[in-house]
Amino acid sequence: MRRFLPSFVMALAIGLAGSLTLSTTPALAHDHRDIGTYEFVVGFMSEPALQGQPNGIDLSVTDKATKQPVEGLEKTLKAAIAFGGGQPKELTLRTRFQQPGKYAADLIPTRPGSYIFTFSGTINGQPINEKFESGPGRFDDVQASMALHFPVADPSPAQLQQWLDQARQQAATANTLAMAGLAVAVLSLLLAGYLLLARRPAGQARAMAAQGSRAD
């Protein structure tokens, strides 16, 4: 008995530590909402959601009366995503393997900030048209990934495109200024030539008048 007691105590301690670890693991930040007789839980599949990294819409639907997951919604619900006041883009809603009542729509967020998920259609004949926006108290916004880069923070494709657009704009501005400068230079030469030609007849007339007065 004495030989087995330390092993029993050790196993009990390990089990207790494991349960404490599981109980203190933070839950994913998702938005919970009652819609008619159903409960929707919405968020990103991977959190924190990072710019430029594969992710997706995470949707769970439960019947509040029976506490059972609602299946088959990939056939009756549509999912869409919007960002920054732009037009929503429709995504394909799919089931998740061996997870009844759970659905996903794959995406790669390319900008940090707030996103809006919209679900429309029907559930057992009940019309659905609900928007879920990321933010405090709901589900996390997409974060810029450069803060996690190591050892060097490489620019994202979006930043590279932004720098390229800025360079093109600066080049276009410089080209416009150069053309304007060239036009001013040409006009200045033309004006100088005109003034030079205009002065020659006047000078010749004065010279001829002077010669005529000496002849008299």
Contacts of 95 (CB under 8 A, 6+ apart): 71, 74, 102, 103
Q: Which of the four pLDDT bands, split at 50, 70 and 90, describes residue 215? A: low
Tell me which residue of 49, 121, 52, 135 sits closest to 90, measured CA to CA.
Answer: 121
Backbone angles phi, psi at 94, to 5 degrees: -130, 160
Q: Higher confidence at residue 110 or residue 178? A: 110
pLDDT tens profile 79-112: 999 998 899 999 999 999 999 999 999 999 999 9
* ∠ CA 192-197-199, rounded to 5°: 95
Instruction: Give the pairing type, strands 55-63 and 77-83.
Output: unpaired
pLDDT at 147 (0 to 100): 72
Whole-model pTM: value is 0.61
pLDDT tens profile 53-69: 999 999 999 999 999 99
- d(CA 158, CA 71) in angstroms, rounded, equals 38
pLDDT tens profile 121-171: 999 999 999 999 999 989 999 999 877 777 776 776 666 667 678 778 888
- d(CA 89, CA 54) in angstroms, rounded, equals 17
Collapsed DSSP state (helix, strand, coil) of residue 141: coil
Token pair recorded at residue 27: 């839950």
pLDDT tens profile 7-32: 544 544 444 444 434 333 344 689 99
pLDDT at 124 (0 to 100): 93
pLDDT at 114 (0 to 100): 97
pLDDT at 149 (0 to 100): 73
Say whether pLDDT at 213 is over 70.
no
Q: Going edge to edge, which strands form the sheet with 31-35?
A: 31-35, 38-44, 55-63, 102-107, 94-95
